[in-house]
Structure 1
Amino acid sequence: MIKDAQNAINDLNGRWLGTRQIRCNWATKGATNGEDRQTSDSKSVPDLTSNLSEDVKDKANEDAPENNPLYRTVYVGNLSHEVTQNVLHHLFYSLGAGAIEEVRVQYGKGFGFVRYSNHTEAALAIQLGNGRIVGGKPIKCSWGNKPMPPGAVSTPLPPPAASSFTDSDIITYERAMALNRMASAQALLHAQAEQLKQAPPMGMGAGASQAMYDGSYPNIDTQQQLMYY
């Protein structure tokens, strides 16, 4: 019996079964030999890897803006170019989400930022402000990409100045002002172009220029005039 078992170990040890190599040896009570311990350790490797992956996921979830209390800034995208900081302040103040500490608009780039005094207020502002129509376009609200430094303290902004105009009225006014500035610039360019057309050719005075248009040349006899024609 012992001899048969030894022969089986000798014959099978090192052979391949599919893509894995067979290892055969005498079994020991309690599985205390090195190979059994190695097998036990190898079984625990996937468990350890799984635990590490879960830890990484948990850490990433904790650092996400929606779970990190250091994030207090709302990103506001899809803004019309006419939207000013005053318009944006009026809009988010009207939401009543909380105390606003800063309002910034990146003019000409179509986005801005509104910072609140805490994370909860900013989250509520994102929920209430997303999709609001401003200047004929729905704004897109999400978290800003930078958290506030721990312990940072700032003073809330005073309420925006009271106005009898709505946000839509203000934007319409800003758009009209922009169109007026554009029309003024075009009128100035047109006037300059007309002046260039009426200016005399280089090397001639105003009198000589007028004479050319009138068909007469002072101090030049008729024969010389015919030569010019």
Structure 2
Amino acid sequence: MSTPTTNGEAVVTSNPALTIYVGNLDQRVTDGMLNEIFSTIGPVTSVKIMTMRRHGPYGAVNYGFVEFADRTVAEAALLQMNRRKIFNYEIKVNWAQPGQGTQVKEDTASHFHVFVGDLSPDINDEMLSKAFSAFTTMSDAHVMWDAVSGNSRGFGFVAFRDKTDAEQAIATMNGEWLGARAIRCNWATQKGQTATPPPQPGQQLPYEVVVQQTPAYVTTVYVGNLPPTTSQADLMQYFERFGYVVEVKLQAERGFAFVKMNTHENAANALVQLQNMSINGRQAKLSWGKDRPQPG
């Protein structure tokens, strides 16, 4: 797995299935300290803390990655360490990459995706999956997480191989209680639509749909609805969590920017995770930008 640092370089971990993300870290926490804390669960292979030196609402906390020698130890760390308080902050623990709850993730690009909203903060991928497990063709379930704080963003997506199961899930589960809240279920795309929907700023779609909306050579994300006080550092703080940022073209006075990532996949991941994220008090509206194909 390759994870970004704040200077644009990448920290490579050998096995993403053994690596967890640790968010909301007090700036006094060091690599050694985090290693010592997580070693109480089991053998730790490596620890890397990403230092955030940016302006904005999350400037006071860092995040990091912990790789374990054994899968069962990593799973135990998820259960035991999430919400543990270190200094003045309650840490947030999740898999370092979405979908790492299973060793092999099925390609769900052609499946039928259901949006699930109003999720309780404590609902994770496993709980969402169990809630929809009665529908036998369910292929994936994941909660969307805040890239910086590690908190749930209150919604997720469930994919189904069979359209009928997706329709029944919407009809059956909409308004049902999951945890402390009644959830909302609807199509992630237009009902019955199998073609890739056109990119629209602010439209919340799953990664499997977004990554196919534009050709693979497109690596630029449009970011709209920005306040005039937005700086390049503000945008870097959010986007570099998903990979190396090649360039930021900011038109703050006009309320938008274009952020070019190093790969199409990293750009798609950023677009999905940061959609409607509050940046300096406004909900950012993201969509694909435009790039020209490389000659030859």
Range class of TM-score, shorter chain: 0.3 to 0.5
Looking at secondary structure, tell me which structure has more strand per residue. 2
Looking at secondary structure, tell me which structure has more helix per residue. 1
TM-score, normalised on structure 1?
Answer: 0.35
